[in-house]
Structure formats: structure tokens, C-alpha cells
A = this chain, B = another copy of it.
Amino acid sequence: MRNRQATQLLFDHSKPGRRAAIFPASDVLERPLDEIIPLAQRTALPLQLPELTEPEVIRHFVNLSTENMSVDTHFYPLGSCTMKYNPKRHERLAGLAGIVDLHPNQPGDQAQGMLELLYSLQQILAEIAGLPAVSLQPAAGAQGEFTALLVASAYFRDKGERRTKVLFPNSAHGTNPASAALAGFQCVQLSSTPQGFVDLSELQSHLDDATAVFMVTNPNTLGMFEREITRVARLVHDAGGLVYIDGANMNAIAGIARPGDFGGDMMHYNVHKTFTGPHGAGGPGAGPIAVRDFLADFLPGPIVVSDAAGTAKPVFYRLVTPPKSIGRVRSFFGNVGILVRGYCYLRTLGAAGVRAMSENAVLNANYLLAQLKDVLPVPQGERCMHEFVASARLLKDSRGISAMDIAKRLLDFGFHAPTVYFPLVVAEAMMIEPTETESKETLDAFAQAIRTIVAEDAEYLHLAPHETPISRPDDVRAARQPILKWTPPAE
């Protein structure tokens, strides 16, 4: 039922004179254009955009959409990404007039509803983190990391300390070192224990008075809770450093354990993951950070505060910039559309719901681990939190079947692939995160698919997938002779 015209490029459909969006004629007194915009400022070349009709644009993109897998259509156990269900009510509510059309420069007294929402969200995120001060500004997790590192940096500067190093385990997500580098720190990567935990002696050997921050994901990227996290934190704190918790895996512990309670000084959330953003084909995200009180003054502005709370006057919300703020990390308030969705989710769940979310995420992951461990060994053991990392290493060694082969073949079975080749510390890694919004039936079907696949012929798997619109694109060619845009045949 594939529409064969569908894979043409937008530009192939263009014909001179076709129109989709058409605008009213000008209704104002006309002055010659040259009088208002000098000729020298105007473009000398004709615009190059395509010319299409509205039905054409719609058919093109609707058909293109069907070449995607997505949470609404498929099980999508992409590890570290928390591909949970995105409630439809969020889309409706984030689209309400008064929310979707609120201008960022609307004065605060005309945005009290929005500020109230954002204020509540700050409070909720502080409570889940166990860290009292929140900035909603960062646009995604990576920017949350960067922002928090700048906060740390400002904090140390304020204390008159010069600390230049950021430490992180080798299982860390790539954004951790990249954010540290961007924030001007020297990056120190630490090896982990054979089980993939933070290696305390390795840590200790690198801690010194130049250590600003130790960044750690907990549960870590292997899906394991860092059991020694309090000792880790104590070591870092003793060396005068701060502990940063990468909160990408909060879906395992929200309502059950709090970063602030296990030694974290700063953390980020990925609202698009844990609080069902949604993921939008790659984004947008929202990466709020929560920090300890002594770091609050350094947060970027604006932050919502409430006046007159507790007094007789009606509560009034205001935007303020903390006194020693590191400054803005983006224009305007933040990725509010995503924050609104996160707020909707948290208000739907409530306290018990947040906990039930983590419990079921962990239950689902452990169940799948139990189903799979015989066919696909999980080096880290029998238990996991909300996700686990299986390894195709044995299969690779014995029969030449790689993690990638299995991932690709899963697509034929109607399942999105897990994250592969991350974390780097596991060979032939397959990082599987089912989330709580999947059923036992689906997990069973997925496990069955894996069992079927590992019994298949290796050659057949190397050529997989077989039932997708394309198969095994030539990545090398793409990178060697990059074609990064369409060019007209004539050019």
C-alpha cells in the first residue's frame, strides 16, 4: 500500500506557479517599497524555495511519516531514552489558547496562570530531587549538565577556589564530557569496576583540590544503582568537590530514592524522557536542573518566585534572576511547551503515581532481563533497575552475529531496536529499556522475537532488515562524500 510517489523529495514535486499558503492583499496605505526598504538591502536573487500545493505537502509528509517507527505504533525499547507513552491529553492541554499562544514578552501580570504552573513545577521537581532550588531554563539534558557545571564554577569562584577538573566514569553518556569541555573544564575519565560501578579507589586517586565536580549517572548507564553512592559522594565532598547526578535514568527511582538524599548536589531531569515530553523525532526536550540551597544563588534566571504566599494577599508570581546568577543559558524562559506537558504528567500521577511509574518500569525491565538473559547474556547480572545492557559478544565471537544485526532484524518483527554500542564499557552492547507503559504481552513477544532471531542464519541477519523501506544504508559513503542538501538537477 506504499504510495510510490511518496519517497520523492519535496523538491521533485515543485512546479512554477503552484501555491499552498496564500496571504491577504495588503490592506494598508501603500508606499512604494523602495521608500521603506532601500533597494541595496533587498535580495537580488529570486527566492529558491519550492512551489507546491497544500494537498501535495500534506500527502508528502503524511506518507513520509509512515516510514517511521514511533511509540504510538511500535514497542521502542531504546535504552537511556525512556520511550514511554505520551498521553494525548498533554497535546490537547498544551495547545489550549492562553498557553500555546502566550507571548514570552507578555508582562508577568498577564501571565499569572503560566507562572503559577511553572512555579508548581519547580516545587514538584525540587521535591522529587530532594534538592530545593530549580531552574527550568535548560533546553535539554545536555544543556542542564552544562548549566549546572557553570553553576558549580561560579560557586567555586565565589568561594575563591580555582577548580578546573570534572571527573566522570567511562560509562558516562557522551554529553557529560562534552558539557564539561564546553564549560571550560578539564575532563578526566575514570575506569569503572568490572561490574561497571564507580571504582572508589580510581575515584580517590583522581580527587584533589582541582576537582570541581564528579558527574555520575544513577542508576548508571548499565541500569544499575550505584550502591556506594553515599561513599562516592563523601569522597568527593571531602575533596571539596560537588557531585552531579545525571538524571536521565530517573524513571527508575522517582519517588523511591532522591539524588539529594544520596549525596547529589546538582542534577538534571530529562522531561522529555521521564516525564513524557514527547521525543518529537529527536527533540525538543527540557532539561531542568535542581541544586542544593547553597548553589541556588548561582542559577540562571529567570526563575519564578511567589510573593505573598502565606499572607492574606492573593499570591502573585514574578520572574527573578538569582543574585549571583551565572546569567542566561538561552533566550526567554525555557522549553515551556515541554514543561507544560511534564507538569500535566506529574499532576496526573501524583505522589503514588510517580512511585508506581518507577516500580513498574523496574518490574518490566527485570522481567525482560529474566526472559532474555539465557539467549543474550547480561554481563551486569541478574538484576537491573529500569533498563539493562545485554551483550551480543558471545554470538559475535561464535557465529559472527553482532548487536547491530540483531537490532536491524528486530525491525522486521515490528519492534524498534534497543540502543546499541552504548555504553562503551560493554562489548556489543544492547541497552534495553522497556518503560512502564508496555505490557507483559509485548515484552513476551519481544523476547520471543529475540529468541527467533538468534536462531536465524547469520548471513540472513547481516542483510537484515528485510521488510523495511530501505536496508543497511552506506554510512561510509554518506560521510566521505557528504550530500547534505538537495541540489537542482541543473546546478
Contact = CB atoms under 8 A, between A and B. Distances in A.
Contacts of A85: 54-55, 58
Interface in A418-443: 437-439, 441-442
Contacts of A225: none
A59 interface: yes
Interface of A: 1-6, 13, 15, 53-56, 58-59, 62-63, 66-67, 69, 72-75, 85, 87-88, 97, 411, 413-414, 437-439, 441-442, 445, 467-469
A414 B3 CA distance: 4
B1 A56 contact: no
A72 B206 CA distance: 60
B55 A437 contact: yes
A445 B59 CA distance: 15
Contact of A54 (B6, B87, B469): B87
A3 B55 contact: no
A5 B13 CA distance: 35
Contacts of A15: 439
Contacts of A441: 5, 13
Smallest CB-CB A-B distances: 7 pairs: A55-B85, A3-B414, A4-B414, A62-B72, A55-B437, A3-B74, A62-B73
Given A62-B73, A66-B66, A73-B62, A88 B3 contact: no
Contact of A468 (B1, B59, B69, B467): B1
B414 A2 contact: yes
A438 to B, nearest CB: 8
Contacts of A54: 85, 87-88
Contacts of A1: 67, 69, 74, 411, 414, 467-469
Contacts of A413: 4
Q: Is the interface of A mostly helix, strand, loop or mixed?
A: loop
7 contacts: A1-B74, A4-B414, A4-B445, A6-B414, A13-B439, A55-B85, A55-B437
Contacts of A5: 414, 441-442, 445
Contacts of A414: 1-6
A59 B73 contact: yes
A87 B75 CA distance: 32
B2 A467 contact: yes
A5 B75 CA distance: 10
Nearest to A469: B1
A343 B3 CA distance: 31
Contacts of A72: 58-59, 62
A394 B351 CA distance: 73
Nearest to A84: B55
Contacts of A55: 85, 437-438
A75 B4 CA distance: 11
Given A3-B414, A411-B1, A414-B4, A88 B437 contact: no
Contacts of A445: 4-5
A204 B226 CA distance: 94
A438 B18 CA distance: 12
A56 B439 contact: yes
A54 to B, nearest CB: 7
A276 to B, nearest CB: 11
A73 B439 contact: no
A469 B414 CA distance: 14
Nearest to A55: B85
A451 B273 CA distance: 51
A296 B72 CA distance: 51
B3 A58 contact: no
A100 to B, nearest CB: 12
A88 to B, nearest CB: 7
Nearest to A85: B55
A3 B438 CA distance: 14
Given A4-B414, A54-B85, 12 more contacts: A1-B469, A3-B73, A5-B414, A5-B441, A5-B445, A13-B441, A15-B439, A53-B437, A53-B439, A55-B437, A58-B72, A97-B97
Contact of A73 (B63, B74, B88): B63
